[in-house]
Amino acid sequence: MSARDSVMNSQSALVSAIYGHSSDQIFDTNGLTVYQNSLAANADRALAISFPTIQQLVGEQGFSHLSNAFLHDFPLIRGDWGEWGREFPAWLEANEQLQDYPYFSDCAQLDWCCHVSERATDETLDVESLGLLADGHAYQLKLRCSSSVKLVTSAYPIVDIWNAHHLYEGEAQTAEHALALAAQNLAQQAAQNALVWRPQWKAQVRAISTAEILWYHLLQQGESIGAALDELHDSDFSFESWLPDALSQGIVCGIDNIDNSSL
């Protein structure tokens, strides 16, 4: 065995021991504990940044327990804690201890979408491409959505729950009302679709109709404006009302000609 292979094997054994995947007693117990405590603390902080709603729902102590268990099942492979946690929503859904809280998974998915949206590449409006609307045919044009746009469909009032835990810091009366609304809609099993986007530096969340989330899905699939509108012809969706807001909010960043290259 070469010296390089020996070093790599030692590093692999150390990582395995730190994550608790090995019972070998080849490392100093005290030193190993220091590594493990540091790893757990970093994981807890990273996961709390990515999933703040879940942390508030279960409390700091409960969240630390979840983060430690998740870290054991999904150890950090890459060096960026910001990319760690993608599997957390599905992991919560499969967690038998949380079966009485089935909405946790969708709340976590919404948190993750906000986290990813805030890490997305900055984009500016391609003003020149808007001229295609005047000259082009709707079936030959498609809208270019910002990469910060994310969608979540849920059987639970995830937007109300998110609002109750994020929008009203320092406003006790408003926060109390938001929590009451979320609790009421949760009891009534009110479903909500969530739109996530980032107009500036902070991700925004709002509830959207079934028709509107279908519209966004069609746009993200590359459908033309005309074909997407045909899919929504029986709904009350208004392209004329939607477009100005989508442009001003940074949801749409340009228009492409399907037959030719993007402008």
10 Å CB burial of residue 112 (0-12, 13-18, 19+) is buried
Sorted by sequence, the CB contacts under 8 Å of residue 58 that are 6+ apart come out as 66
Tell whether the model's pLDDT for residue 11 goes beyond 60: no
Give the alpha-carbon dihedral of 111, 247, 255, 229, to 10 degrees.
Answer: 80
Q: What digits encode the pLDDT tens for the residues 73-104?
A: 998 876 788 889 999 999 999 999 999 999 99
Q: What digits encode the pLDDT tens for the residues 128-177?
A: 999 999 887 999 999 999 999 999 999 999 999 999 888 665 565 576 78
Tell whether the model's pLDDT for residue 59 goes beyond 70: yes
Segment 65-69 long-range contacts (CB within 8 Å, at least 24 positions apart):
66/92, 66/95, 67/40, 67/43, 68/40, 68/43, 68/44
Q: What is the pTM of this model?
A: 0.84
Q: What digits encode the pLDDT tens for the residues 190-241?
A: 999 999 999 999 999 999 999 999 999 999 999 999 999 999 999 999 999 9
β-strand partners of 192: 154
DSSP E strands in the chain: the ranges are: 141-145, 150-154, 192-197, 204-208, 252-257
